[in-house]
Amino acid sequence: MATGAADAHLPSDVAPAQFRPMSSARPHGARAVEQRRALGHHPIAAQRERNARIREQVEAIAQTAITQSPSATSEGAVDVIGVIPANTRETTRLPAATRRIFLSRLAERLRAVFSTVPTSDAAAMTAQSIAAMDPPPSDRADAATILGLSCGTCRGECCTAGGDHAFLRADSLTRVREQHPEANEGALLASYAAYLPTRHYRGSCVYHTTAGCALPRAMRSNICNRYLCGGLTQLKRALESVEGNAAFVGAADSVHLRRMARIDVHGAKPISLK
Ligand code: SF4
Ligand code: SF4
């Protein structure tokens, strides 16, 4: 995905860019210290400062990886840098109470959706029309793959906002209903219940697991299928603006860089932070 919703992301001033050595663009040394002092202790300024530091760390690690192991990048690769959020939660059993709340809310919403006349004549949607409602995150297939793998490196921080509702509101449920004209209200509810996992990330969306979202894409909410956080949006822009076909991606919480990987269409190779 972009798997989910609320933006726990790093602010937009930390734009990914085509990878370049540490000596370029960003102020260093005394000038950087002076700028940081001028920013004072405002929380937003402090967060920007932390984000800038994390980005510098990602750039430095990428530079070291390239220097120590030129094979870290393949021939013809155009690497960009990206900084995205990091989910650092532990997993736990999906609490029975959360499951109950989710299903009871979903039942109410399905009741409301099924109480209206379908907007279409309930003809099954074609694969093409479903795809049109669920566009890939980039027109370029390789960039879309890299963005998807980046979400895997993040482990779905935005899904934490899915809580006990998974963003399944009337618009999404109406679409799902139209995609499954053969299913009645009870059948759809049963289907959503069947996909609930035994374990999920503590305090996160009911469907958020270590393997990603437990729901098939077509059953996810519209927002889940379309959402790109700030960091991923910047990574997308960077990939598209320089025809990038690979990325060094750092996943960070609001304080620390937690994970890093070099990602291309063939997969994500984790980079040790030790
Ligand atoms: S990187 Fe992907 S999974 Fe992580 S917060 Fe951004 S959109 Fe969500
Ligand atoms: S349903 Fe939940 S886990 Fe799945 S993409 Fe949406 S927020 Fe994430």
pLDDT band at residue 12 using 50, 70 and 90 as cut-offs: very low
Q: What atom in ligand 1 is closest to the CA of residue 84?
A: 1
The larger pLDDT score, comparing residue 80 to residue 124, is at: 80
Radius of gyration of the chain (CA): 21
Q: What is the pTM of this model?
A: 0.81
Which residue among 89, 191, 200, 207 is best mutated to probe the pocket of ligand 2, counting the most ligand atoms within 8 A of its Cβ? 207
Domain extent for 210: 93-139+160-224
Q: Could you tell me if residue 127 is inside a domain?
A: yes
CA of residue 163 to ligand 1 center, whole Å: 16
Please give the C-alpha separations between residue 115 and each of 101, 139, 173, 180, in angstroms, as whole numbers: 21, 37, 12, 16
Q: Could you tell me if residue 115 is inside a domain?
A: yes
Tell me the torsion sign for CA atoms 224, 86, 237, 233: positive
Tabulate helix, strand, coil % of the chain (nearest 5). Answer: 45, 15, 40
pLDDT band at residue 136 using 50, 70 and 90 as cut-offs: confident
Q: Tell me the ligand closest to 231's alpha carbon.
A: 1
Q: Could you tell me if residue 165 is inside a domain?
A: yes
How many domains are there within the chain?
1
The DSSP bridge partners found for residue 208 are: 213
Tokens 């409602």 -> residue: 133
- The span from the CA of 74 to the CA of 87, in Å, is 29
End-to-end CA distance of the chain: give it in Å, rounded.
28
Q: Could you tell me if residue 257 is inside a domain?
A: no
- Residue whose CA is at the smallest distance from ligand 2 atom 3: 208
pLDDT number for residue 117: 75
Q: Which residues neighbour 9 within 8 Å (Cβ) at sequence distance 6 or greater?
A: 84, 85, 157, 158, 229, 230, 231, 232
Q: Could you tell me if residue 35 is inside a domain?
A: no
Q: Could you tell me if residue 24 is inside a domain?
A: no
Q: Could you tell me if residue 4 is inside a domain?
A: no
Q: Could you tell me if residue 220 is inside a domain?
A: yes
- Weakest-pLDDT range from 110-124, 126-140, 219-233, 252-266: 126-140
pLDDT band at residue 48 using 50, 70 and 90 as cut-offs: confident
Q: Give the tokens for residue 121.
A: 């004549």
> Averaged over 90-101, what is the pLDDT?
98
> Averaged over 189-209, what is the pLDDT?
98
